[in-house]
Amino acid sequence: MSAHCQLTGAQPGFGNNISHSHRRTSRRFDPNIQRKRYWLPNEGRYVRLTLSARAIKTIDAIGIEAAVARVRARGGKV
């Protein structure tokens, strides 16, 4: 599963682990990505979206139709 949110565009960030002796090694900060299925009433079908936890809360606030419109505006396929 790709660590990429379809709604917000959240992607992994990169940085360093810093040990007690101050040696640095590469690390990756992954967003909290979930696959979630929503009923899309205006199309009469379910859609499965790959979303961050923050995007799931956004959909709860704005509704699935507005969220799908935003995904499509970003050039995403639903």
At 2, is the pLDDT very low, low, confident or very high (cuts 50, 70, 90)?
Answer: confident
pLDDT (mean) for 15-36: 97
Beta-bridge mates of residue 51 = 34
**What values do phi and psi take at 67, rounded to 5?**
-65, -45
Q: What are phi and psi of 58, to 5 degrees?
A: -65, -45
Residue 65's nearest CA partner among 38, 31, 32, 25 is 38
Q: What is the pTM of this model?
A: 0.85
Give the per-residue pLDDT at 36. Answer: 97
Question: 29 near 13, Cβ under 8 Å?
Answer: yes
Residues 15-20 have a mean pLDDT of: 98
Q: Residue 73's pLDDT is what? A: 95
Given the DSSP bridges, would you call strands 13-18 and 24-29 parallel, antiparallel or unpaired? antiparallel
Compute the mean pLDDT over every residue in the chain, rounded to the nearest whole number: 95
pLDDT at position 38 over 70: yes
